[in-house]
Amino acid sequence: MWGCLVALVGLFFLVRWYRERQVVSQLQDKYVFITGCDSGFGNLLARQLDMRGLRVLAACLTEKGAKQLRRQTSDRAETVILDVTQTESITAAAQWVKECVEDRGLWGLVNNAGILGYLVSNQWLTKQDFVDVLNVNLLGMIEVTLSLLPLVRKARGRVVNISSVMGRVAMFGGGYSISKYGLEAFSDSLRRELLPFDVKVAMIEPGFFQTNLVDKERLACSIEEAWDHASPEVKELYGLEFLEVYQKLPEEFKPPVRQDLSLVTDCMEHALTARHPRTRYSPGWDAKFFYLPLSYMPTCLVDAMVSWLGPKPAKAL
């Protein structure tokens, strides 16, 4: 009995390995639009796909980022300035993409642009702090997707959304995890909706990597800034010892974020170029062996673990 079970499991992984190695044809004729290409995953993916021969349409927030990327890529790659929080900017970028792809349609849309916001207790923040993150990570991503879906449907292409392990387990307050949980829901519904159109939707759920998004100095500054904006009542409720523990958090990002960024961009590339891409990718050892298993544990156990490991407010019962 056990021998049959092992054989079936082995056969499953063998078939999956074979299917996932099959690549779509004529990659050199396929256009891929990527948001957030100034740095990090988007920048590396643009260069990686350009070397692979695809026609990259890279959206950057700043002209400086666009110029730098153009110097690092071939003449096939093109750039555009895009602010995903502005409807006018999204409309203009969508029209630019339409003119670039002409009758071919858009093979790939990679929603990579995002910000971290504040990773602190929710009670330290205001509604606007949440809105600022949601406008970029969720609402902007949705508007970009809806604007370009007709072109993706035409090519029977791919939508690749960059989520996070924080979209599975909310370890901190602030808008980041909320935006990623929302992205997961949008991606799930969109994937099922586009199945009849032969369009595939994939989610990338990375662990912690060293990018401009997860920058230790920026994290430290954001914690102090959020504390300064908190009300006197909240400051008294949490106390300075709680703040001191939070201020040490950026250093605790140090071990996992040294992972190679290509672990993430390789998953993005596979989602765009494989004939049978996965629905979800979890790049990073912390994603695979800690956050992913944690997301399947009973909620009461996760709550107890986080409560036990985390700092306690000064006025806690």
Catalytic residues: 176
Amino acid in position 21:
R
**Can you spell out the DSSP letters for 200-222?**
EEEEE------SSTT-HHHHHHH
Amino acid in position 155:
A
Question: Strand 31-34 and strand 200-204: pairing?
Answer: unpaired
Distance CA(296)–CA(289), nearest Å, equals 12
DSSP 297: S
Distance CA(204)–CA(167), nearest Å, equals 10
Write down how long the chain is.
317
* The residue to which tokens 């596979």 are assigned: 270
Name which of 104, 133, 107, 108 is nearest 120 in CA terms.
Answer: 133
CB 38 within 8 A of CB 13: no
Distance CA(108)–CA(30), nearest Å, equals 8
Exposure string over 71-105, b if 16+ CB within 10 A, otherwise e:
eebeeebbbbebbbbeeebbeebbebbeebbeeeb
Question: Strand 280-281 and strand 200-204: pairing?
Answer: parallel
Provide the edge-to-edge strand list for the sheet that holds 78-81.
Answer: 78-81, 55-60, 31-34, 108-111, 158-162, 200-204, 280-281
Distance CA(203)–CA(187), nearest Å, equals 7
